[in-house]
Chains A and B, each alone.
Chain A
Amino acid sequence: MSEYNRPVNEQEFEQNFAQIKPLMNNTEAYYESSRCLFCYNAPCVEACPTHIDIPLFIRQINTNNIKGAARTIYDSNYFGNACGKVCPTEVLCEGACVYNLQDVKPIEIGRLQNYATTSAIRNDIKFYSAGKSNGKKVAIIGSGPAGIACACELRKEGVHVDIYEARSNATGLTVNGIAPYKITNDEVLEELAYLQSQFGFNILYNSKIETADDIEKLEKNYDAIFLGVGNGETSKLNIPGEDKTNVHGAVELIEVLRKEHYNTAFGNKVIVLGGGNTAMDAASESARMGAASVKLIYRRSKEEMGAYHFEYELAKEVGVKGIFNAAPLEIMGNGSANAVKFIKTKTKNGKVVTIPGTEFVEECDMVILATGQKNHDYLFDKISNLEMVKNKVKTNNYQTSNPKYFAGGDCMNGGAEVVNAAYEGKFAGKAILSYLEK
């Protein structure tokens, strides 16, 4: 059973969605940074997708050089603050900490990182500035972490950058798709403003690039184009009843939740379909929104879930119940869903096979589909010679098969973390710079 009551105001929402990695105070940061061993060739650095010099920034915190610590972080990762909060550190830097092998709690690297970068952001310590204009222009489609990181890298060298954003806000999933207990909207947008004040890139909001005409204009007006569009809406399951009113895509629902907070409508008996990290988030969020029962139902076994172990633990801690080896057959109900019919499954030679005669029904008043996202075919189809591989934009050192186009982030990698997008965006920026030099 969920331990949360349905939040009816902002204060209660904030309590239910309290930050799981709250900001450290000075004393906590000092004590925690004191524990770091300063390993040689530290495995945490290797485990970080952006290879931040973690032992260095932790030592800088310990010697009260917080500015220097923030600089070390930002030199490797433009989304240093967001990543400190939303990275799955348990399987990245903190998971690699040698203390784990000694049964000692690993260093809280994410929180230390967040401590340093928050200090730089709040005190408006600027490390970078835009380079002198070199007359080159790049269009970036999508203002997610890949697009922003790419913009920073280009602006540093004096390239004019316009970012075309379909939505009315920037940073993509960072502000729209992360579970609210991992980072607040304010934190995300403060870092965006901080970056924008240093690098000075333009963001054109409500400017979806979708028509052949749009594409033609971009190609005419810019020297290169970066695709940082991420993934699209939640894929259909292709089972009967999916169109019922209380059946939601997880990504779409989380976006509403991040905007509307306690005003978001959630059911009391929620079924979440899926076994990835988005499914875990959706289940946790349902529980924190006061659902009395949250069932996470996955068609494969628990061990086969794509979600990180700690994400499932986090969901279980708030009362989510996992049901495994059950595939949905039909969403039942008259107009709105009131139950889902499942059939039990087993995995045979890596494939899911249903077990005849094992159908069962789970009641619900809300269904959340966390079963993957579509890509942006509507856009990719209109770009000439743009090759795809397994629904992902094919690249070679971030350059697509159409040499004017570059890509990074989810649309290239299929869906990964903010930290991966930030890294790829930055290095795509470097690739664009060398393309522009030719």
Chain B
Amino acid sequence: MDLSVNFAGIKSPNPFWLASAPPTNSGYQIMKAFDKGWGGAIWKTLGVPVVNVSSRYGSVNYRDSRMVGFNNIELISDRPLKDNLREIEEVKKYFPDHAVIASLMVESREQWHQIVKDAENAGADGHELNFGCPHGMCERGMGSAVGQDPKILELIVGWVMEVAKKPVIVKLTPNISHIEDPALAAKAGGANAVSLINTIQSIVGLDIDNFTAYPKVDGHSTNGGYCGPAVKPIALNLLKNVAKIPNYGLPISGIGGVENWRDAVEFILLGASTVQVCTAVMHYGFGIIREILAGFEQYMIDKGFNSVDEMVGRALPNINTWENLNLKYKIVADINQDKCIGCQLCYIACDDGAHQAIGLSENPEDRKPHIIEENCVGCNLCSLVCPVENCITMQRRDAGNEHLTWKERTIAGDIPDSFDDERGGGVGHHVPEPREAIAYRLK
């Protein structure tokens, strides 16, 4: 299977790149990664070397899963530029067909010119401008401070384009209300591609015994950049927002919580042409690439895709605005009584957290709940909390031949427009009387 990609002129044997981060801090790490199967790497951001603190990382664990969310307060490379440039050269010597991209972050026009030339002379295949880092560097007017100001972003991209001979990717910050603005500014500045998302500004958790946050630096902490599996939904949405910009045209490198082949497929179907990974490697090492490659190839075979390009953005046409969704589509939950184990999580989730559409048997021996179909709004909640695979499924109830959207109803003037309008969706839905909640006390 040919997985090779050409991303804005940067060629790579596959679309799986290491994001600019601790795993790309050195030539040693990047050569090790290429040897394991990674297609490209964005070098840990180059600039004027920084001084770092210890500790640097914090984690969100969920139940028995570690690092579901991850945050860092590490800055850009703290190594001298010349060491990094020498290693870039060496990596390209051993891996000429792999993508080595220099992540860059400096302040003045002169510095930008110098570092772009230096990276290209060392053999970098392209540049990624770090306008995303939301901790430390932004306090000094760099990183996300640039990404949050489209005008400055456009200006700096312009400086870079004055000298760059290799493709330039602009890395966007998610710490902004409308990511379309910096995405368009990057294009206006002449960038060849964008990548997103950088980390999300975060406090990962508190040390409640010592009244401070993690990670701790001598009893104090600061906000960091959040990443890992927990941020994937946010990354996917921002990716969609950029990919949906009409006539945008720039290729997108997707980043944010990618850990396995499914994640990678999702990013690509939503418009990314390459996918960048960091946290998963920090958790499991470079070897996870074999799971991503194997699963991704199998998916392509199963779906009949011949190239990665064919996959890019395939789901985008089906991602719409709410007003274009079909209001006539009607599904209800169905509980498979043979599979049900009687945990009653669906019952309590629906009764306390949704629409009181699940009932319990009068017989206390029978723990299996049932759907009260006339009250079911088809919200999915019960099927999501059910611990048994395929026990609760959503069954279609409309005939499938009607299509009416909010937008169409609005145009037709058929929408609720006063507080007690009978056209509201909840009219006719059975809601128990408030006092029924404490019926046992009133008896």
Contact = CB atoms under 8 A, between A and B. Distances in A.
Interface string A32-49: 001101111101000000
A92 to B, nearest CB: 17
A37 B347 contact: no
A37 B388 CA distance: 11
Contacts of B64: 30-31, 34-35
Contacts of A62: 63
A43 B364 CA distance: 10
A166 interface: no
Nearest to A63: B63
A40 B348 contact: yes
A358 interface: no
Given A31-B64, A43-B367, A62-B63, A37 B387 contact: yes
Given A40-B347, A98-B342, A34 B388 contact: no
A391 B310 CA distance: 83
Count chain A CB atoms within 10 A of each CB in B63, B343, B345, B367 and give the residue with the most: B343
Nearest to B389: A102
A389 interface: no
A38 B345 contact: yes
Contacts of A35: 64
A74 interface: no
B130 interface: no
Contacts of B344: 39-41
Interface string B335-352: 000000111110110000
B388 to A, nearest CB: 6
Interface string B57-77: 000000110000000000000
B418 to A, nearest CB: 39
A102 B63 contact: no
Interface in A96-114: 98-99, 101-102
Interface in B67-97: none
Contacts of A39: 342-345
Nearest to B340: A101
A101 B342 contact: yes
A14 B341 CA distance: 40
Contacts of A38: 345
Contacts, number: 32
A43 B367 CA distance: 9
A102 B345 contact: no
Contacts of B367: 43, 98
Interface string A8-50: 0000000000000000000000110011011111010000000
Contact of B343 (A30, A31, A34, A40): A40
Interface residues of B, number: 12
Nearest to B351: A40
Interface string B12-45: 0000000000000000000000000000000000
A39 B347 CA distance: 10
B63 A98 contact: no
Contacts of A43: 342, 367
A177 to B, nearest CB: 34
A31 B62 CA distance: 11
A39 B341 CA distance: 10
B63 A37 contact: no
Interface in B335-391: 341-345, 347-348, 367, 387-388
Contacts of A40: 343-345, 347-348
A37 B346 CA distance: 11
A37 B349 CA distance: 13
Nearest to B360: A41
Count chain B CB atoms within 10 A of each CB in A39, A40, A98, A99 and give the residue with the most: A40
Contacts of B388: 102
A38 B352 CA distance: 15
A38 B344 CA distance: 9
A34 B347 CA distance: 21
A31 B63 CA distance: 8
A30 B65 CA distance: 10
A98 B347 contact: no
A36 to B, nearest CB: 9
A99 B341 CA distance: 7
A27 to B, nearest CB: 9
B341 A102 contact: yes
Interface in A40-78: 40-41, 43, 62
Contacts of B347: 40
Nearest to A38: B345
Contacts of B348: 40
A298 to B, nearest CB: 31
A101 B342 CA distance: 8
A41 B369 CA distance: 12
Nearest to B349: A40
A207 B344 CA distance: 52
A137 B342 CA distance: 47
Count chain A CB atoms within 10 A of each CB in B342, B345, B348, B388 and give the residue with the most: B342
B63 A101 contact: no
A62 B387 CA distance: 18
A34 B343 CA distance: 16
B63 A34 contact: yes
Contacts of B342: 39, 43, 98, 101
B345 A101 contact: no
Nearest to A36: B63
A310 to B, nearest CB: 21
Contacts of B63: 34, 62
Contacts of A98: 341-343, 367
Interface of A: 30-31, 34-35, 37-41, 43, 62, 98-99, 101-102
Considering the complex of A and B, which 4 residue pairs feature the smallest CB-CB distances, nearest first? A40-B344, A34-B63, A34-B64, A40-B348
Given A37-B345, A38-B345, A98-B367, 19 more contacts: A30-B64, A31-B64, A34-B64, A35-B64, A37-B343, A37-B387, A39-B342, A39-B343, A40-B343, A40-B344, A43-B342, A43-B367, A98-B341, A99-B341, A101-B341, A101-B342, A102-B341, A102-B387, A102-B388
15 contacts: A30-B64, A31-B64, A34-B63, A35-B64, A37-B345, A37-B387, A39-B342, A39-B344, A40-B345, A41-B344, A62-B63, A98-B341, A98-B342, A102-B341, A102-B388
